[in-house]
Amino acid sequence: MFYQDEQYFTGDKIKVFHPKKHIKLNRNVAPLFISAMQKAFSSFSWGSSSYNVSVLSDINIQLPIKNGEINFSFMEKFIAELEAEHIAELEAEHIAELEAYLIATNLKDYILTQEEEKVLGDFENGKIVFGEFKIEDVLQWQSQKEIDPLKLENLKDKTEPLYPFYGQATVNNGIISHNQLTKEVLNNRDGKPTILIHSNNQNIVYLETPFYLKDGHGATSVLQCEKLSKINQMFIVSSIDKVIKCKYSYNNKATKIELKNTVIELPIKNNQLNYELMQTFISAVQKLVIKDVVIYANKKITTSKEVVNDK
């Protein structure tokens, strides 16, 4: 059973109940009506021959009353309180999940260090020195094993761990599915920090796990370097993304040959890539972005604890 207040189509097996004129049926009291009817109709089952309008019309349901009349005021207040409690419970669950995520990802701390403040200040004042590099001077292309999706069944191996299967989609970070396949088709077995660049849509993905790769006739570049990390990759990926989104398209693909000669700008110190600055800069940006979220979560957690203690 469900409440409907919009125009609709339905089949001939559906029983439709309209309220009488003196019944104030609306979305606010409908849950109580439905609950009462479900309880009264609980003796019926699928295919029951007695489930017809004449039988249903004689069934009594129980509703709150006042002075012999249905107490709609109480019903609306009761449902509103239930909904408020449900929303509060959901919010508490979400806040708990959020705090767990912030702690697990080390994003709980949003206070900038002196070094982070200096790097942000230098960036805003144009004091950071950038150098030009070919992508192949920063990242090294890795050999890769691609899979025809039609052959996944033949490659299954239940003794292997579950790993992501990447394609060139822009949704779900490019992950098509998770599979257990034979080791022979597994990429990045050591789980090193890795960047994937798809030539058709210029989508860039960062990962730190072994993975499978959809056959794209070499359309995906698999890149690594010794100093690549979860933090500094954000700076490097942003620099690559800024260039290739302007330079390439589906009709002018970012192929491996093109990418190797593509020039990007990155911070330097003594004419060398300044990985330390990239790390500090991204750390500072993360703290700025997450600050309001952490403050909000802390306030909600404090309020929840106060409510519990008051009870």
Report pLDDT digits (tens) over 56-112: 778 888 999 999 888 988 988 998 888 888 877 777 787 788 778 878 777 788 899
User: Which stretch of DSSP H or E encloses residue 227?
Assistant: none
pLDDT in tens, 8-23: 888 877 778 888 877 8
What distance in Å separates the CA atoms of residue 126 and residue 195, rounded to the nearest whole number? 28
pLDDT higher than threshold 90 for residue 240: yes
Q: Is the pTM of this model over 0.85?
A: no
Q: Which of residues 191 and 311 earns the better pLDDT score?
A: 191
pLDDT in tens, 286-306: 999 888 888 887 787 776 655
Closest CA to 93 of 311, 310, 300, 309: 300
Host domain of residue 104: 89-109+287-310
Assess whether 267 and 223 both reside in one domain.
yes
What share of the chain in percent tops pLDDT 90? 53
Q: Report the pLDDT averaged over residues 231-237.
A: 96
What pLDDT does residue 304 have? 62
β-strands 263-269, 272-273: how paired?
A: antiparallel
Residue found by looking up tokens 């189509």 in the block: 9
Assess whether 97 and 126 both reside in one domain.
no
**50: which 2 tokens?**
């007695």
pLDDT higher than threshold 70 for residue 39: yes
**How many structural domains compose the chain?**
3
Assess whether 70 and 126 both reside in one domain.
no
Assess whether 151 and 259 both reside in one domain.
yes
Assess whether 148 and 164 both reside in one domain.
yes
pLDDT higher than threshold 80 for residue 235: yes
Q: Report the pLDDT averaged over residues 239-252.
A: 93
pLDDT in tens, 154-187: 999 999 999 999 998 888 989 999 999 999 999 9
Assess whether 49 and 187 both reside in one domain.
no
pLDDT higher than threshold 70 for residue 50: no
Q: Report the pLDDT averaged over residues 198-206.
A: 93
Assess whether 45 and 102 both reside in one domain.
no
Q: Report the pLDDT averaged over residues 180-196.
A: 97
User: At 2, is the pLDDT very low, low, confident or very high (cuts 50, 70, 90)?
Assistant: confident
Q: Which of residues 135 and 107 earns the better pLDDT score?
A: 135
In the chain, % helix, strand, coil (3-state, to 5) comes to 45, 15, 40
Which CATH number does the domain housing residue 197 bear? 3.90.220.20
Assess whether 131 and 82 both reside in one domain.
no
What distance in Å separates the CA atoms of residue 243 and residue 263, rounded to the nearest whole number? 8
pLDDT higher than threshold 90 for residue 234: yes
Query: In one letter, which amino acid is 3?
Result: Y
